[in-house]
Amino acid sequence: MTRDEAWRIVQDHVGAAGLRRHMVAVESAMRRYAAELGGDPETWGLAGLLHDYDWEIHPTLEAHPKEGIALLVERGCPPEVVQAILAHNSEGTGVERETVLDYALLACDEVTGLVIAAALVRPSKDVRDVELKSIQKRWKERAFAAGVDREHVEQVTADFSRVAFAGGLDLWRHVGNVLAAMQGAAAALELDGSLVRPA
């Protein structure tokens, strides 16, 4: 499966701009970690891009992504990507995380919401203007990125750190890595100032 084929699946099944942005954000973070950890950026990117493709069709943790995975298999999604997508909701699928890819996907998933929120509250709506310290400052503000479960983010980051970094990846280094990856994908995320420029 190519990135173009994966993007067509997203276009066909995801209508909400915010959900598409989230998936591209996770893709960018996954590609960044693949480069650092010796993974294949294309494979890791597919996991990020496709992990929530069925959320609008199956919007419950009991059904997502279990009910949507058959289409990905049918379209030729690599087995390791299928495994990672299933393992990012172990409670609903019964599939546990096993590989570094699996742990990376879950660690990169929800944390992107912090970065997106930080970009959208800026007048410029440009993720390249976001500084790590501004996210750190607002971490304890529950109203900021209210949908992001802080305890979950801390736990899955710690798990990823243990599996892939021998415990050497702390929360704020991880958030900084994800922020940097997303800044490199600002145009694809439409967080490059285009939201405030006249059409």
Q: Is 196 among the domain residues? A: no
12-61 tens-digit pLDDT:
999 999 999 999 999 999 999 999 999 999 999 999 999 999 898 988 88
User: Partners of 126 in the beta sheet?
Assistant: 192
Domain interval for residue 141 = 3-189
Q: Is 197 among the domain residues? A: no
Q: Is 11 among the domain residues? A: yes
Output the domain CATH number for residue 100.
1.10.3210
The conformation of residue 96, written as its DSSP 8-state character, comes to P
In the Cβ-directed half-sphere of 129, how many Cα atoms lie within 13 Å? Answer: 13
Residue 8 tokens read as 């067509």
The conformation of residue 192, written as its DSSP 8-state character, comes to B
Q: Is 199 among the domain residues? A: no
Residue 140 tokens read as 């304890």
Residue 128 tokens read as 């390249």
Q: How many domains are contained in the chain?
A: 1
User: Partners of 192 in the beta sheet?
Assistant: 126
Residue written as tokens 């058959």? 70
- The pair phi, psi for residue 161, each rounded to 5°, is -60, -45
197 pLDDT exceeds 80?
no
Q: Quote the mean pLDDT of the chain.
A: 93
Q: Is 195 among the domain residues? A: no
CA distance 176 to 182: 10
Question: How far, in Å, are 14, 62, 74, 118, 129 from residue 25 at the CA level?
Answer: 15, 24, 25, 13, 16
pTM attached to this predicted model: 0.94
Q: Is 94 among the domain residues? A: yes
